[in-house]
Structure 1
Amino acid sequence: AYMKKNAPYALLKLLQEKGKLTGTYNDAMEDSEDYQKILDDFVKDEINLNSLQVQLAKEKLPSLDMTLTQFSNFANLIKKEEGFIWLKSLEDTYITDHVDELTSAHTYDEKPIASTIFCLDVRSEVIRRKVEESGPYSTYGAGGFLGIPISFVEFDKAHELPMSPANITPQNIVFEIPVESHDEYNTKKGVNKTTKKVLSDLKNNPYTPYIMVESIGWMFGIKLFGKTFFPDKTNKLFNNMKPKKPKTTFTLDKLTIKEIEKYIRRLHTNIINEVLTTQSDTVLTKDELFILWEHLVFNKALCIKISPDMISKLKHAYHITAEDYHLQKERLSQVGFTIDEQVMYLENLLKMIGLVKDFPKFVTIAGHGSISENNPFESSLDCGACGGSISLPNARALCMIGNKNDIREKLREKGIDIPAETKFLPALHVTTTDEITFYDTDRLNVHDLELFSKMQQDFKNASLGSREERAAVLPNAKTQEDLFIKTMDWSEPRPEWGLAGNMGVFAGPRNSCRHMELNNRLFMHSYDASIDNENADILTGIFNGPLIVGQWINLEYYFSTVDNKVYGAGSKIYHNVVSKIGVYNGNYSDLKIGLPTQSVYEEGEAYHEPVRLLTYMEAPLEKVGKAVENSVAKEFILNEWIRPVIIDKAAKKVYSYEYGDFVVIKELP
């Protein structure tokens, strides 16, 4: 009712709020209450201004055969679509430049002694380039989970971690188990656990905190001041106090039925024995424990004396039942892979990247992750294709599979002949410092170690060169040492730029883009269209996994940049972590979504350039068309969030998807 009665005033306030009123009209609203007249004058001036702009523009564009009315409608359309026009023009400029580079002729004939498979993550671009420059090495790109989705249970952890994209549910469980004695680990862990429990009890007791602050509060000051003023030394001190994980391996092979039943029986009888000895002072022999277990699980006759209350407790409180037996049996049947599954996953990876012949001495599969302190957004810097986790477990799993003789025999039957001297080595690429650490090198012989030592030094040199490039664009990182300090400094809001700057994907042979300095802007997935089948199954797999993950990342950075207040998370400086599920701004707000300003802005200016995902594919148009039709990426393409560009060298044409159709944008010689 108020709005209707005071419409001129309400309209003027809305215009004022949106910043549409000039100083003249703002002053008039303060000096006068004739709001209808002020509104009329404003509308009149706006009409006159628009008319003058249209007339002057028409005079500057005499070639346009339009009336003033038609030109006015055209100008309004341009004004309405101005943002999209600028966006598309920017993208078209990049497409033109990239296509020219990608279609220029370059050959690389040197046989590599090692091929390294990196994640397609944009941050791998510079380290791949530096590795190739450091010696006879080739690199490939693939989705960080490497096409092998696993539920991973780390050594000394009780929970499963899904190592796959969010749209894929792993069906196989992999345990990390020790292969050497780990007494020192257990001792250090026991000390740390006891210390943590004592401190927790002291803090949570209603009386002791007052005494605790006075007596041992200074101990917390060591970490507080150390991490603030001497982060490198403090980091070394506390790392030495942590238990060191022993050498481990993975449970990659399926368990037999007998093994599964033996493990469940051992689990249940251990629980029964623990409960009886601690809660009733009852000690049973091994045979008696087995008899009691059979009674609880299979309802067999019980010939030993156990109280009904204890029987009930074991069933209802500790779940020693037939139902739990079958549940555990089903879960353990998911541990590891069958031989055929192992062959399939390795074959899929090698075919997906085009590495099916001429294998070098070493095939390195590098997972990746980041290191930072006090960073609620740390998972956004890890592997997106592994659900925001470090992808080393996937790399180790595939290397262990690749080194098995029986797996190689079966691959040989499928036309992929991996020589006996070829070794698969897992590695971890730390994106904040570009360090590369190799794992499971104990399988190398003396001759292998000589070559590996040279390769390791070359990779260290590549890391040095890569850090130089990163330090040049990262604020407050004048030297390479500063990059390491950023990983330890708990006051550092920007340990690395992450995937800021991402703008596109290239799927094709590495030689087509090896000569280009892409400055960490493209996701690079290796692909050889000549070994793909007529249904484009390999390319469809790339579309369904890596391309979709790349699109999610691209949109996350896009919207966090164009409107960080709504779609981003604001500044990290004001964040408070809420129940480990999100962050608030200050002490109360909505849960923030998207990325913080430090991930996409630098000193108030956008560092990330928001463009849609420009997807370059070196493949025949027909195969790309089939991959689009058969993949979940179709909707993103049809709705123009992904802009496909097809480099069809066989047809000597380059196509771009424009307004619902593929059009030729360049003819190749």
Structure 2
Amino acid sequence: MTTGPITKAAPDTATSAAEVRAVVADAAAFLAPTWPLADFIAVNPLSGLVDRPFADAAIAAADLFGARVTPEEAWLRAAWRHGRITDDDVRAALIRRHPEALRCPPLTLGGRTYEPVDLLSADLHQGITNPPPIRRARTATEVLAPDMAALLDTHTIQWCSAYLDEGQSTWRMPGRDRGFYHAWRALAAHDVTLPRRLRTRLGDLPERDEQAVAEALAALGVPEDQRTRYLQAHLACLPGFAAHIRWRGERQDSGIDLVAYLALRLTTEAAALTGTHTHGTAWNSASADLLDTRQATTGPEDRARHLLEALEITGTDAAQRTELARLLDRLPVEQRTLVWLDAYEDHYRSRLLRTLSRSAPEWTDAPPRAQVVCCIDPRSEGLRRHLEALGDYQTLGFAGFFAVAMRYRDLAGGAARAQCPGPITPRHTVTERPSEGRQRAAERSLTGRRVLAAADHSLHAAKDDLVAPFVLAESAGWLLGPLAAARTFAPGAVGAARAWWTRRITADPATEISLEDALTPEERTATAEGILTLMGLTRGFARLVVLCGHRAHTDNNPYQAALDCGACGGHPGGPNARTAAALLNDPQVRRHLSERGIGIPDDTRFVPAEHDTTTDTVRLLDTHLLPDTHGQDVDRLTADLRTAGAHLAAERCATLPGAPSHPSPRRAARHTRTRARDWAQAFPEWGLAGNAAFLIAPRALTRGIDLHGRLFLHDYDPDLDPAGTVLETILTAPLVVAHWINSQYYFAATDPQAFGAGSKALHNAVGGGLGVMTGPTGDLRSGLPWQSLTDGHRARHEPQRLLTIVQAPLHRLDTLIGRHTVLRHMFDHDWVGLAAREHPDQPWLRYTPTGWRPWCPAAAAPEDGRPPAPLRT
């Protein structure tokens, strides 16, 4: 057995750096890059598989992660028993998904004749349950030395955490400025957590990470045609770290990418197996297990026998049982949950479409009291509904970044943050500055912020020191102990006192958005025109047009960014609203817009605002920039927004654990404010839990309907968009973001272990905002915590893929789907459903890759019209 350094690859097996990077990129395609917690952006964890049909992605997810991508069969059967799925829903799903099976002739069993649809339905209801998926993609170390595989994971976590740390640790990884691989290479041989012989073998490693990957693969003996697969197995060992490092690798000068990450894992693995396997033999020794771990599934004969017993059918001969087995084999047991999922989704979708088909209330032509443009976020639906109920308000839905893709630097300076959807690269940087004559107030505010920041830093630094924590406990424990108790038992009072004290020290000065250095005059006009055109507001302006972004205030919550605006990069939407309002209030911009046919009345003012979705309060921003002539309008709108928010808070209290069950609006508003300040609150709000559909249509379609916060609502008038450019923008930007959000909730609900983040109570925040682990160590948990999905007794998010509902010409939709690959993948591959109609008086149609079909669940009747034979269940 060899005990020296890793044997170098022979010259004829050397692989170029470009080839290594190509195979790593190919292997990593299945990973969805994930952002750090501070910039939490919802992603589809299987976005790398959207070029495949959803059914194929289910197989790949099981293979790579051992994960489910559909709800458990037992859960779906329970939904059927509780009426959430009907027999008609199941039959319709079978007809759509397995039409060939239903064209088989009827079967005679035990002297009775049964239609194929009835037997397949019975198998869905009572058939042998499909076993859970298993992960087949495994590394040689996992097969040959499981204890060493666990040590390799721990080693990877240790060094990745050290390198990626953003200031939480007081110890900085030596050599970090040289990049991850070089820093690790210099230190690995001194890592005492590794066995001595392994450290010795790590003492002579290649200088370049690409070379290290190539030589390690050669040392393991992985064939060229298996290298992509083998690298995927390594990436799937710690998918949280791998996904985040992929995101890091796409940023310039990050110093770490998946090549460096795999260089660590592969060289350590090769060194570990060198002691027991000669050069180039480890993979071959493990290959039998690597390639033959397919889980045995129940055969069609066993399924037929079980179904006959369940239905109490006797007197069948071998030929009849064989015919039944052949029929059941047309619906593989691993695909049954896909049929169930279709039926489950369509039960809700059909009811929703029927609701949207009712006669819309008439809208008066009188000028509205104010126009309020809210984010398409489902949490804005209730605010819009309650505000409209108070009087002549017109509300619109628009993506919360208000078509301003920008970086934002606030008054304190520092690094600018991206305020736009994840797929978009911001082109402009806007800054906050003091308003005229408010420079001294701004300086006092900044001084107060620095004092508070310094005190906070000193406290944390003291806790990290060796001796200082003891001194801190003795000197300040008498104050911090009672304060912690007060924060726990009286969070509302403590929060209010803290807010009052903070305002005294760092009173918010009057500021405004500076556009001079961010956009040229031409860019300002173009951006303003784009904003108004995309939201369909090019005429009929009210005196006040409110652009309302949103944020979520919570205390002691690492997942705060998950509750903020996804369209703003996981940040509050106020800066985008302020920027858009500043553009639209600019006199020069208005003159240019008038030349382009968009005339904004002189007395119209655009007002930014921010909706706090945790407390359902709305704060108007930059009101100091408004003329005195609009003071009464602002006061009345402020009062009505307060009333609408209180009614929405009362509505939400019915779903919040620990909230009063039937509170008055005033009591509900007080409760939600207290809840937001409670540092022990695990359920500050439900975020986007429950989201199920994305509606692209005029507001008249949904005005007055309680949609229970389940729909993204984007206003769209096809008559104002003859070229289809607005619809194209909505489908390829906001819809994609909504699909990511829906997918993150969906997969976290279907398999919380693989795609969720576990319980908040067990989270350990690492890396100064890098992410969370469950417990003291482990993989990064990149999904949503279970407190975002359930209260422990009842699920608050029902796993449904997103349904897109569009009121627009069908040929326009066909053209756009044909033009954009991302839309073809989403709609043709069953990742997102699509229902559409051209006019309000027409029935809804279902999009399929072969054309539009009526949305009609009743089509589940047999094609020949014969009634199905009853089955005993």
**TM-score bracket for this pair, using the shorter chain length:** 0.7 to 0.9
Partner of 2:352: 98
More displaced 10-residue stretch of structure 1: 481-490 or 558-567 = 481-490
Aligned partners of 1:353 and 1:526 also within 8 Å: yes
Partner of 1:582: 771
Partner of 2:480: 220
Q: Secondary structure at the match of 1:147?
A: coil
Within a 5 Å distance, the mapping from 1:166-565 to structure 2 comes to: 166-179=422-435, 180=438, 181-182=440-441, 183-196=443-456, 198-199=458-459, 202-203=462-463, 206-242=466-502, 243-254=506-517, 336-478=518-660, 479=663, 480=668, 481-534=670-723, 536-565=724-753
Q: Secondary structure at the match of 1:86?
A: helix
Amino acid across the alignment from 1:630: R
Q: 1:629 to 1:339 in 2, by over 3 A?
A: farther
Displacement of 1:103 in angstroms is: 2.8
Displacement of 1:408 in angstroms is: 1.2
Amino acid across the alignment from 1:223: L
Aligned partners of 1:370 and 1:431 also within 8 Å: yes
Q: Deviations over 1:577-603 (max 9, x none)?
A: 011211111112211121111111222
Aligned partners of 2:529 and 2:593 also within 8 Å: yes
Q: 1:53 to 1:423 in 2, by over 3 A?
A: same
Q: Does 1:602 align with 2:778?
A: no
Partner of 1:591: 780
> Once superposed, what is the RMSD of the aligned Cα atoms?
2.8
Q: Partners of 1:572 and 1:595 in 2: how far apart?
A: 10
Aligned partners of 2:370 and 2:394 also within 8 Å: yes
Q: Secondary structure at the match of 1:88?
A: helix
Within a 5 Å distance, the mapping from 1:60-71 to structure 2 comes to: 67-71=320-324
Displacement of 1:51 in angstroms is: 1.9
Q: Partners of 2:469 and 2:403 in 1: how far apart?
A: 51
Amino acid across the alignment from 2:525: V
Amino acid across the alignment from 1:506: L
Displacement of 1:76 in angstroms is: 4.3
Q: Does 1:661 align with 2:851?
A: yes
Aligned partners of 1:540 and 1:628 also within 8 Å: no
Aligned partners of 2:412 and 2:446 also within 8 Å: no
Q: 1:446 to 1:95 in 2, by over 3 A?
A: same
Q: Partners of 1:239 and 1:19 in 2: how far apart?
A: 50
Q: 1:206 to 1:562 in 2, by over 3 A?
A: closer
More displaced 10-residue stretch of structure 1: 47-56 or 362-371 = 47-56
More displaced 10-residue stretch of structure 1: 387-396 or 226-235 = 226-235
Q: What percent identity do the matched residue pairs reach?
A: 30
Q: 1:442 to 1:126 in 2, by over 3 A?
A: same
Q: 1:122 to 1:651 in 2, by over 3 A?
A: closer
Q: Partners of 1:660 and 1:451 in 2: how far apart?
A: 53
Q: Secondary structure at the match of 1:516?
A: coil
Q: Partners of 2:398 and 2:705 in 1: how far apart?
A: 19
Displacement of 1:466 in angstroms is: 0.6
More displaced 10-residue stretch of structure 1: 416-425 or 176-185 = 176-185
Q: Deviations over 1:409-441 (max 9, x none)?
A: 111111111111111000000001110100111
Q: 1:658 to 1:143 in 2, by over 3 A?
A: same
Amino acid across the alignment from 1:121: D
Structure number, greater radius of gyration? 1
Displacement of 1:85 in angstroms is: 1.5
Q: Partners of 1:606 and 1:489 in 2: how far apart?
A: 23
Partner of 1:74: 327
Q: Partners of 2:511 and 2:639 in 1: how far apart?
A: 25
Q: 1:47 to 1:101 in 2, by over 3 A?
A: closer
When the two structures are aligned, how many residues end up with a matched partner?
544
Q: Partners of 1:49 and 1:245 in 2: how far apart?
A: 69
Q: Structure 2 stretches of 5 or more lacking a match?
A: 1-127, 134-296, 858-873
Aligned partners of 1:647 and 1:654 also within 8 Å: yes
Aligned partners of 1:584 and 1:592 also within 8 Å: yes
More displaced 10-residue stretch of structure 1: 341-350 or 361-370 = 341-350
Amino acid across the alignment from 2:452: N
More displaced 10-residue stretch of structure 1: 347-356 or 68-77 = 68-77
Displacement of 1:527 in angstroms is: 0.8
Q: Partners of 1:378 and 1:111 in 2: how far apart?
A: 38
Aligned partners of 1:615 and 1:642 also within 8 Å: yes
Aligned partners of 1:164 and 1:386 also within 8 Å: yes
Displacement of 1:93 in angstroms is: 2.4
Which one of the candidate residues 128, 133, 137 is aligned to 2:393?
137
Displacement of 1:195 in angstroms is: 3.4
Q: Deviations over 1:296-336 (max 9, x none)?
A: xxxxxxxxxxxxxxxxxxxxxxxxxxxxxxxxxxxxxxxx1
Q: 1:72 to 1:158 in 2, by over 3 A?
A: same
Q: 1:210 to 1:538 in 2, by over 3 A?
A: same
Q: Deviations over 1:56-76 (max 9, x none)?
A: 75969x9xxx95433323334
Aligned partners of 2:550 and 2:611 also within 8 Å: yes
Aligned partners of 1:58 and 1:71 also within 8 Å: no
Q: Give TM-score scaled by structure 1 length.
A: 0.76
Q: 1:53 to 1:358 in 2, by over 3 A?
A: same
Q: Partners of 1:116 and 1:530 in 2: how far apart?
A: 22
Q: Secondary structure at the match of 2:844?
A: strand
Amino acid across the alignment from 1:154: D
Q: Deviations over 1:41-90 (max 9, x none)?
A: xx999967842523775969x9xxx9543332333444443211221112
Q: Partners of 1:665 and 1:198 in 2: how far apart?
A: 63
Amino acid across the alignment from 1:70: E
Q: Does 1:640 align with 2:830?
A: yes
Q: Partners of 2:829 and 2:526 in 1: how far apart?
A: 34
Aligned partners of 2:692 and 2:742 also within 8 Å: yes
Amino acid across the alignment from 1:71: L
Aligned partners of 2:357 and 2:840 also within 8 Å: no
Q: Does 1:88 align with 2:276?
A: no
Q: 1:48 to 1:515 in 2, by over 3 A?
A: same
Displacement of 1:365 in angstroms is: 0.1
Q: Partners of 2:312 and 2:350 in 1: how far apart?
A: 31
Displacement of 1:446 in angstroms is: 3.8
Q: Secondary structure at the match of 1:406?
A: helix
Partner of 1:649: 839
Q: Secondary structure at the match of 1:594?
A: coil
Q: Deviations over 1:2-43 (max 9, x none)?
A: xxxxxxxxxxxxx9x9799xxxxxxxxxxxxxxxxxxxxxx9
Q: Partners of 1:468 and 1:352 in 2: how far apart?
A: 33
Q: 1:45 to 1:207 in 2, by over 3 A?
A: closer
Q: 1:201 to 1:659 in 2, by over 3 A?
A: closer
Q: Give TM-score scaled by structure 2 length.
A: 0.59
Q: 1:417 to 1:666 in 2, by over 3 A?
A: farther
Displacement of 1:605 in angstroms is: 3.9
Q: Structure 1 stretches of 5 or more lacking a match?
A: 1-14, 21-42, 255-335
